[in-house]
Structure 1
């Protein structure tokens, strides 16, 4: 095993899962402890009255999302990965993303994992870059769409604000900063991958030609070369290939968001066979707010948005519940299903994968 492989495996170490767990649970329990208005009896009553149908449906939707991930990675590789290999790639990719800051993600580890699954480096790199671009494009387009549909209610009506570089920012301003950065980064990467990979490489070379940026020259050259390689690998695909990967991307993220709709419905005890017009509107609003919240979370510096996700969940969804404590309990279930579960699966799957591939 060479030094690079050892470094990648070190980045996948299960010991790294304890920090985000500690941060996330600490923030959540601090929020519960510091809120004097929390009614413990009401929380216990809500837990006892949960609609188990919606809880079951949330698992079904979450399972469907994982199947969608595996289908997309198989489609990207023209079925070079079988379902078993796709399972390992997706679970370890989720694990890597969960133990690295959201703003960084687990892309380099994903390339390493796919490469060990006998996908050539250039192809692995192009597939990972493409998924990042597709995901970010979905965030930007979907977030702007829900703002257009819910212009007056998509942001929660609270007085949350924070200071950044002397400016006071509320949730709309934080969203605007985050979505602008994501849109710029996505456009820049798409240009390099699909239009001008060699120009992209020259641009990075130019950026690192100044005295104060020369320290990043080696990294810039490496990134430029990788972009050229990845761009070559994506040429020649049919239109059906692009339709499949785009539609699977929409399905994956829609399923992720729908899972929380199911979970919230379980606590609100929504009757699926007796939905009112307001219930239906609330479903769309909850779905839309998740998209906005996800954009805000993407610039989190903590691993897997630990702490940030729990905090902003309360800000975005508090108004749907009778008690502030209930929304924090729902946040705990949400993170348990969509985050901590993948930390656990990754820690279990990783040793088996290492034994299989090394």
Structure 2
């Protein structure tokens, strides 16, 4: 096994799950300790009264989201990946994203995984870049849409603030910084991938022409060459190809957000078949706030936004609950379903995949 493969497998090491787990436990402990409304009797009563049908529906939506991921990766590869290979790619990609900071993601590991599934390096790189661009475009356009639909209520009414580079920012300001960075990065990558890959390489070369930035020239040249290769691989696809990957991207993220709607409804004891008009409007507001919260979480420095996600969940959704302690329980369920489950699946699936691909 060469050094590069060893490095990539090290990034997938199950021991990396310990850091986000410890961070998550610490944040939950702090939330319980600092919340006077968290009482064991109330929590047990809420767990006993939760609507099991909403919980089951959240599982269905979650499985649908993973199926959407597998469909998209198969479509991107023109069905060169089997459903079995797509399962390994998606589960290990989710695992890699869960053990790396959100701002970094698991893109390099995803290219490695797809390459071991007999997708050429250039094609794997182009597919990973394309999924990143599509996902980021969804975040940007969906966030603009929900702000237009809920201009006065999409941001929670609290006094949360954080200091960044000596400047105090509220949730709105953090969102603006995050979505602006995402939009700039996505536009830059889309330009390099679809319009001017060679100009993209020249631009990176010029950026590393000064005495201070020259140390990164080798990385810049490598990135420029990779962009040219990836751009070449994406040429010549029919309109139906692009329509499928765009629609599957929308389905994937809508499913992810709808899952939390189901969880919250389970603890609000909402009747699945008899929602009032006010409850229906709340569903759209909860859905929209997830988009905003996700963008805020994307600049988290912790693996898989561990700690950051749990904390911001309370900031965005506690107003929907009469008991503040219930928010902590719902946040725990949410992270168990959408994060810790993939840590566990990764630990289980990884040895099987390594055995199959590194005989």
**Does the alignment pair 1:257 with 2:233?**
no
In the other structure, the counterpart of 2:49 is: 49
**Does the alignment pair 1:142 with 2:153?**
no
Deviation at 1:272, TM superposition (A): 1.4
d(CA) in 2 for partners of 1:41 and 1:201? 61
In the other structure, the counterpart of 2:156 is: 156
In the other structure, the counterpart of 1:5 is: 5
Deviation at 1:38, TM superposition (A): 2.4
In the other structure, the counterpart of 1:66 is: 66
In the other structure, the counterpart of 1:353 is: 353
User: How do 1:88-237 and structure 2 match up within 5 A?
Assistant: 88-237=88-237
Could you tell me which runs of 5 or more consecutive residues in structure 2 were left unpaired when the two chains were aligned. Answer: none
What CA deviation, in whole Å up to 9, does each residue of 1:60-83 have, x standing for no partner?
A: 000000000000000000000000
d(CA) in 1 for partners of 2:166 and 2:355? 52
What CA deviation, in whole Å up to 9, does each residue of 1:1-42 have, x standing for no partner?
A: 111001100110010011001101211121111222323322
Q: Match of 1:168, SS? A: strand
Q: Match of 2:20, SS? A: helix
Deviates more, 1:157-166 or 1:221-230: 157-166
d(CA) in 1 for partners of 2:345 and 2:207? 41
TM-score (normalised: structure 2): 0.99
d(CA) in 2 for partners of 1:335 and 1:58? 13
d(CA) in 2 for partners of 1:11 and 1:41? 42
In the other structure, the counterpart of 1:300 is: 300
- How large is the RMSD of aligned CA atoms in angstroms? 0.6
Q: Is the 1:39–1:323 Cα contact (8 Å) retained in structure 2?
A: no
Deviating 4+ runs (over 3 angstroms)? none
In the other structure, the counterpart of 1:266 is: 266
TM-score (normalised: structure 1): 0.99
**Does the alignment pair 1:82 with 2:82?**
yes
Q: Is the 1:75–1:244 Cα contact (8 Å) retained in structure 2?
A: yes
d(CA) in 1 for partners of 2:239 and 2:13? 39
**Does the alignment pair 1:243 with 2:253?**
no
